[in-house]
C-alpha cells in the first residue's frame, strides 16, 4: 500500500496548520477592520471634523487603487465612514509601531532588567517573533489590555475620530492644507503597508518556524522552491 507518514510527523504538521489557521483568522479580521474605512471620492461631501480645511473624504483615494470600497460600505452606510476611517488610521499607527518593534526585537535589541521579577523573566529572555507573546505572564498581558482600555476610554477617546491628539514632541502644526493632505495621505499609506507587513510577517513565522531575521539570515526570502519551510 501507500507509505504512511509517522504519527509524530502528522502531529507536527497538524500543529503547524492549526497555528496557521488561527493566525490567518487574526490577519483577515485585522485587515478588514483596517481597510473597511474605504477610500472615498471627493464628491461625497466634507467630513464634520475638518482638519485645517483638509477634506477627510478626499484622503486615502490615491494611486494606484484610487477609490477602493470593496464591501460597498460607503454607499450602504455613509454615516459610518468617519468612524471607519478612524479605525483604519488607528490600526495603521499600531501596525507601524509593531513592524518597527519587530525589526528591533529581531535584532536582539532589548531593555535591561526584568520584564517580570516575580516570574524571574528578563527582557532578554523573551523569544523574538510571535513566540515572545507566549512568554509574557498572563498578569502582564492583562496589564497591557488594561492600559489599552484606559487610553481608549479616558486619555484618547475612541470617539475622537480626527486622530489629532496634539503634536507633542513630533514637530509643528501644519497650516498649509495641501502639505497637510500630503502628509496625512503618507500616514494612511504607510499604515496600510504596515498592516499588511506585520500580518504577513506573523503568518510566515508560523508557516516556516523562522523569525524575520532568521529567514533573511538563512536566505529564505522566496517561499517557493528554496527548500526551506513547508513549500
Is 190 one of the annotated binding-site residues?
A: yes
Distance of CA 167 to the CA centre of its chain: 22
Is 220 one of the annotated binding-site residues?
A: no
Is 4 one of the annotated binding-site residues?
A: no
Determine the number of helices (DSSP H) and then strands (DSSP E) in the chain.
7, 2
Partners of 114 in beta bridges? 122
- Distance, in Å, from the CA atom of 210 to the CA atom of 224, rounded to the nearest integer, reads 15
Distances (CA, A) of 87 to 94, 109, 162, 194: 11, 30, 10, 14
Is 19 one of the annotated binding-site residues?
A: no
3-state SS assignment for residue 122: strand
Partners of 121 in beta bridges? 116
The set of long-range contacts for 207-211, using a CB threshold of 8 Å and a minimum separation of 24, is 207/16, 207/20, 209/16, 211/106, 211/128, 211/129
> Which residues fall in the annotated binding site for chlorophyll a?
88, 91, 187, 190, 192
> Which residues fall in the annotated binding site?
88, 91, 93, 187, 190, 192
> Which residues fall in the annotated binding site for chlorophyll b?
93
Amino acid at each position: 500500500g501507500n507509505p504512511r507518514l509517522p504519527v509524530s510527523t502528522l502531529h507536527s504538521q497538524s500543529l503547524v496548520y492549526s497555528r496557521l489557521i488561527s493566525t490567518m483568522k487574526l490577519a483577515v479580521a485585522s485587515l478588514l477592520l483596517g481597510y473597511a474605512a474605504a477610500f472615498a471620492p471627493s464628491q461625497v461631501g466634507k467630513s464634520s471634523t475638518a482638519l485645517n480645511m483638509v477634506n477627510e473624504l478626499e484622503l486615502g483615494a490615491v494611486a494606484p487603487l484610487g477609490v477602493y470600497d470593496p464591501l460597498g460600505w460607503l454607499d450602504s452606510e455613509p454615516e459610518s465612514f468617519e468612524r471607519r476611517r478612524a479605525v483604519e488610521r488607528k490600526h495603521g499607527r499600531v501596525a507601524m509601531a509593531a513592524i518597527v518593534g519587530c525589526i528591533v526585537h529581531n535584532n536582539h535589541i532589548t531593555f535591561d532588567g526584568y520584564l517580570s521579577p516575580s516570574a524571574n523573566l528578563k527582557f532578554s529572555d523573551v523569544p523574538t517573533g510571535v513566540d515572545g507573546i507566549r512568554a509574557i505572564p498572563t498578569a502582564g498581558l492583562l496589564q497591557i489590555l488594561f492600559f489599552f482600555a484606559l487610553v481608549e476610554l479616558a486619555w484618547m477617546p475612541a470617539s475622537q475620530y480626527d486622530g489629532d491628539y496634539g503634536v507633542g514632541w513630533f514637530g509643528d502644526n501644519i497650516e498649509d492644507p495641501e502639505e497637510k493632505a500630503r502628509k496625512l495621505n503618507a500616514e494612511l499609506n504607510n499604515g496600510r503597508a504596515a498592516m499588511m507587513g506585520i500580518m504577513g510577517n506573523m503568518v510566515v513565522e508560523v508557516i516556516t518556524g523562522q523569525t524575520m531575521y532568521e529567514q533573511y539570515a538563512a536566505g529564505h526570502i522566496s517561499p517557493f522552491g528554496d527548500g526551506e519551510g513547508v513549500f
